[in-house]
Amino acid sequence: MIYLDYNATSPIHPDVRASMSRVLDGNYGNPSSLHAAGREAREAVEQARRTCLSAIGDPAGQLIFTSGGTEADNLAVKGLARALKQKGNHLIVSSVEHHAVLQPAEALREEGFRVTEVGVDRHGVLKLEDLRNAVTPETVLVSVMHANNEVGTIQPIAEAAAIARAQGALFHSDAVQSFGKVSLPASSDRPDALSLSAHKLGGPKGVGALYLRKGVKIAPTQQGGPHERNLRAGTEGVPGIVGMEAAVRLSVREEKEKVPARVLALREMLEKGLLEKVPDAVVNGHPTQRLPGTLNLSFRGCTGETLLIALDLEGICVSTGAACSSGSTEPSHVLTAMRLPADQVEGSIRFSLGRGTTREEIQRCLQIIPRVVERVRRA
Ligand code: PLP
C-alpha cells in the first residue's frame, strides 16, 4: 500500500508509541488527584504543555488541551466571540475554513452574531483587501486558517492578524495542517489563538490543543469540573496528551533535520511527473505558498471519486478534498470558493505526503497513476 493521505491523518510514529506506552503502563493517575500517582500524571500534562508552548514560540502563553482540532476550533470561535460580546457582535471567517470553524460560526449567527465570510482568489489565498473592508469596530474575532487542508495554500496570516488587530479584534488561526510543517509568523505577528491537532503530526487521534496568547480571555463551551484552569471541563486524556507532546518534539527535531524539505522534494517530483505524463491535469492551490506535502490535482474528464476508487484498487490511498466530506456528493466548498470550473472541481484528487513517504513510492505512483487516469477517462 502507498499511503498518500497524510492530511487526513498520519501513522503513529514509534517515538510517540513509546511515550504513550510508558504512560499507559505506569502513569495511570488522574492529574486532579493530590496523591503521588495524581501528581505524576499532572507533571506529565504540564510538561506536555510546556513543550507545546515552546514549539509555538511563546512559553508564557496559555494552552488548553482538547479532544482534537475540531474541539479547539469550536472552543476558539464560540469561546472567544462570546467572551467579547460586550465589545461587538461581528465575526469574520474565510470562505475556505474547515467545517470545524464554519459551523460554529453558523451557530453563533443563530445566537445573534453577524458573520462575514471573506473570499479567496483562484489560488485559494485570502483577499486581504476584502478583509480590510470587512473589519469594523464591532468585529470581535477574525478566523483565518494557516494552511488549507484540501489544497495546501498557506494564508498570509501575519498580514490578516495585523488587519484584525488594527480594529481591536482578536485573530484565530486553525493551524491543524501547518503546525510542525510551516513556521509560524514571528512573535509580534503571531495569532492570538491557534488550533492544533496531534494526529496530523504522527501523534494519536482524539487529542489537540488551543493556544491562547497570555491575557486572552475565553468563555468555556463545556461545563463540568475545574480542569484546564476552568476553561475545558473533563479529566485530561494523559496518554493522548503525552503522545501529542512526543509528536510535537519530533516535528521540532525534524524541522532541524530538514524533513519538510525532503517531503517538498518528493511532492515536486510527483507534481512534475504527473503534469508531464498526464495530459490535461492542473494543480489546484498556490504554486509556491503551499504545504510541502500537499498536491491537489484535477484530472479533467474524470470524477475524483471514480479515480479514488480506481487508485485504491491499485493500492494507492488518496483523498478527494476534505476527508469529512468523503461519501458526500457535495462539491468541495474550498474549490468552489476558488471559483474553479465545475469539471476541475469534480475531477480533483488530493495527494498528501509525509515523513514516511519514499522516493520509490513516488516512482511507483508515476508508473501507476497515468495508466489509471487514462483507463478512467476511457470508461
Ligand atoms: N482543521 C483542519 C484544517 C483540518 O484539516 C482538520 C482535520 O482534518 C481539523 C480542523 C479537525 O481536526 P481533528 O481531526 O483533530 O478534529
- The predicted-structure confidence for 221-230, as pLDDT tens digits, reads as follows 999 999 999 9
Q: Is 149 in the pocket of ligand 1 (CB under 6 A)?
A: yes
Q: Is 207 in the pocket of ligand 1 (CB under 6 A)?
A: no
Which residue is closest in CA terms to ligand 1's atom 5? 149
Residue whose CB lies within 8 A of the most ligand 1 atoms, among 200, 244, 291, for a mutation test: 200
Q: Which of 52, 302, 317, 324 is catalytic?
A: 324
Q: Is 97 in the pocket of ligand 1 (CB under 6 A)?
A: no
Q: Is 197 in the pocket of ligand 1 (CB under 6 A)?
A: yes
Atom of ligand 1 at shortest distance to CA of 197? 15
The gap from C-alpha 336 to its chain's centroid, in whole angstroms, comes to 19
What does the block give as the cell for 219?
A: 468563555
Task: Give the type of residue at 314.
Answer: E
Q: What angle do CA 350, 11, 311 make, to 5 degrees?
A: 35
Q: Is 155 in the pocket of ligand 1 (CB under 6 A)?
A: no
Phi/psi for 205 (5° steps) reads: -80, 155
User: Between 318 and 186, whose confidence is greater?
Assistant: 318
Q: What is the pLDDT of the chain when averaged over all its residues?
A: 96
Q: Is 4 in the pocket of ligand 1 (CB under 6 A)?
A: no
Distant-in-sequence, close-in-space partners of 180: CB < 8 Å, separation ≥ 6:
55, 200, 201, 247, 248, 251, 252, 254, 255
* Section 59-68 average pLDDT: 98
Instruction: Residue 82: name the closest of 154, 23, 141, 145 by CA.
Output: 141
- pLDDT of 326 strictly over 70: no
In this prediction, residue 137 carries a pLDDT of: 96
* Section 3-23 average pLDDT: 97
- pLDDT of 327 strictly over 90: no
Instruction: Residue 309: name the closest of 366, 373, 359 by CA.
Output: 373
- pLDDT of 325 strictly over 50: no
* Section 234-240 average pLDDT: 97
- In DSSP terms, 212 is beta-bridged to 62, 193
Q: Is 70 in the pocket of ligand 1 (CB under 6 A)?
A: yes
CA atoms of 36 and 129, how far apart (whole Å)? 56
b (16+ CB within 10 A) / e for 112-138: ebebbebebeebbbbebebbbebbeee
CA atoms of 166 and 111, how far apart (whole Å)? 26
* Section 115-138 average pLDDT: 98
* Section 232-253 average pLDDT: 97
Atom of ligand 1 at shortest distance to CA of 68? 15
Dihedral, 282, 287, 289, 295 alpha carbons, nearest 10: 30
For residue 376, report the distance from its CA to the centre of ligand 1, in Å: 31
For residue 8, report the distance from its CA to the centre of ligand 1, in Å: 8
In this prediction, residue 363 carries a pLDDT of: 98
- pLDDT of 140 strictly over 60: yes
Residues 264/6, Cβ–Cβ less than 8 Å: no
In this prediction, residue 156 carries a pLDDT of: 97
CA atoms of 48 and 53, how far apart (whole Å)? 9
Residues 170/192, Cβ–Cβ less than 8 Å: yes
- Across the beta sheet with 348-352, the strand order is 281-284, 294-299, 348-352
For residue 6, report the distance from its CA to the centre of ligand 1, in Å: 12
For residue 195, report the distance from its CA to the centre of ligand 1, in Å: 9
Helix axes 69-83, 99-110, angle to 10 degrees: 30
User: Between 26 and 77, whose confidence is greater?
Assistant: 77
Dihedral, 143, 147, 153, 154 alpha carbons, nearest 10: 80
In this prediction, residue 324 carries a pLDDT of: 44
Atom of ligand 1 at shortest distance to CA of 199? 15
- pLDDT of 37 strictly over 70: yes
What does the block give as the cell for 73?
A: 476550533
Residues 203/174, Cβ–Cβ less than 8 Å: no
What does the block give as the cell for 350?
A: 488530493
Distant-in-sequence, close-in-space partners of 26: CB < 8 Å, separation ≥ 6:
none
- pLDDT of 293 strictly over 60: yes
199 confidence band (pLDDT: 50, 70, 90): very high
In this prediction, residue 330 carries a pLDDT of: 81
Percent of the chain with pLDDT over 90: 95
- What is 2-9+258-378's CATH superfamily? Aspartate Aminotransferase, domain 1 (3.90.1150.10)
Residues 293/264, Cβ–Cβ less than 8 Å: yes
In this prediction, residue 171 carries a pLDDT of: 98
In this prediction, residue 323 carries a pLDDT of: 46
pTM for the predicted model, two decimal places: 0.97
pLDDT, tens only, 157-169: 999 999 999 999 9
Percent of the chain with pLDDT over 70: 98
In this prediction, residue 188 carries a pLDDT of: 85
* Section 146-155 average pLDDT: 98
- pLDDT of 339 strictly over 80: yes
In CATH terms, is domain 14-254 a member of 3.40.640.10? yes
* Section 276-295 average pLDDT: 97
CA atoms of 267 and 272, how far apart (whole Å)? 8
83 confidence band (pLDDT: 50, 70, 90): very high
- pLDDT of 303 strictly over 70: yes
187 confidence band (pLDDT: 50, 70, 90): confident
Whether 324 sits among the annotated catalytic residues: the reply is yes
Atom of ligand 1 at shortest distance to CA of 9? 8
Instruction: Residue 212: name the closest of 190, 189, 197 by CA.
Output: 190
Which residue is closest in CA terms to ligand 1's atom 10? 69
The number of C-alpha atoms within 13 Å of 153 and in the hemisphere containing its C-beta is 26
Give me the residue spans of the domains in the chain: 2-9+258-378, 14-254
